[in-house]
Amino acid sequence: FRRIMKQYGADITCGEMALSDQLLSGKPSEWALLKRHPCEDVFGVQIASGHADQFTRVAELLTNEESMEIDFVDLNLGCPIDMICEKGAGASLMLRERKLKASLVGILNVLQCPVTIKMRTGWNEKEPIAHQLVPKIQSWGIDGIGAVMIHGRSRLQRYSRVAKWDYIAKVASSQKPDLQQIPVIGNGDIFSYTDYEEKILNQINNGEEGDGGNASNLLPTAMLGRGALIKPWLPTEIKERRHWDISASERFDMLKDFVKFGLEHWGSDQQGLNQTRRFLLEWLSFLHRYVPVGLLEVTPQYMNQRPPNNMCGRSDLETMMMSKNCADWIKISEMLLGPVPEGFLFEPKHKANSY
């Protein structure tokens, strides 16, 4: 997937969240999350843990492992999943400042690359704490923190309702002017170039025109999550400032590349084919949410807008690509990977109470 994103203009890529305890136990599937492809010119890995000693030991492994080539390590303080938070990791680490400070000190005593910190606004929507936590991290005076990335939702919100970009700007301007500034990167609901300009560039410009805060701490860059899963060509749209009415055949060619990359990675035997199909179907469970620009009454489409049921595209393929039916996703996979075994079923792994 990250190779696809590079083709569409992504500048920086980061691996999926890896759990420190699983890395320390040598679990191959967890270490696979840290692999870098040669096309990824700026690449980081994301680590989650609730314990400073685990963070530090993983940092030692990353430093001593000659095959590991990483440009930054991202600490996950944003994962909302119960199983992660119950271990004191993910979003719950935002509430444990002593553990967080010890983790940062331990990691940066070992690592030779910068650390970034991904966090949410706080635990619940009514009591955001990021605007207090970021200045506290700044006051610790720990060298090597490259950036803080703020997802404009709380842990309990997960992905529901809209991201609060005014609060992200507040966090960016909350730092003490007499201390070294930490760059802030915003995240949440960027789904078009107009979203990028309204949510990020306008916040920066408004801050510069006002008389309060350090507006320059909010970087003119976008961290993309769900938007990239649904519209991998989003970096191209942002850079070229256009709503791209990408055709169904162009999107199908993109899926061909994904399948080719998958078979290169996992092998072209039955096991590799099954693994490629599984990841393709998971991706299609996001891709179908995209509504082609040419079918919209008003542009752009927004992240949490649910399109009407049974929409018809401008071709049979476009209609199938918009289908919410898992059976249609399986048909698309068969067009690329051949027939599925008899009785084959697919249920998306990633589910949320929001769209």
Catalytic positions are 79
Report the alpha-carbon distance of residue 254 to residue 178 in Å, rounded: 49
Distance CA 258, CA 127 (A): 42
8 Å CB contact between 276 and 269: no
Residues 6+ apart with CB under 8 A from 80: 90, 91, 120, 155, 156, 158
Longest CA span, the chain: 67
Burial 269-304 (b: 16+ CB within 10 A, else e): eeeebebbbebbbbbbbbbbbbbbbeeeeeebbebe
d(CA 147, CA 168) in angstroms, rounded, equals: 13
Would you say how long the chain is, in residues? 355
- The one-letter amino acid code at 271 reads Q
**Neighbouring C-beta atoms of residue 210, cutoff 10 Å:** 10
Under a CB-based contact definition with an 8 Å cutoff, are residues 81 and 19 in contact? Answer: no
Task: Classify the C-alpha dihedral 19-21-24-28 as positive or negative.
Answer: negative
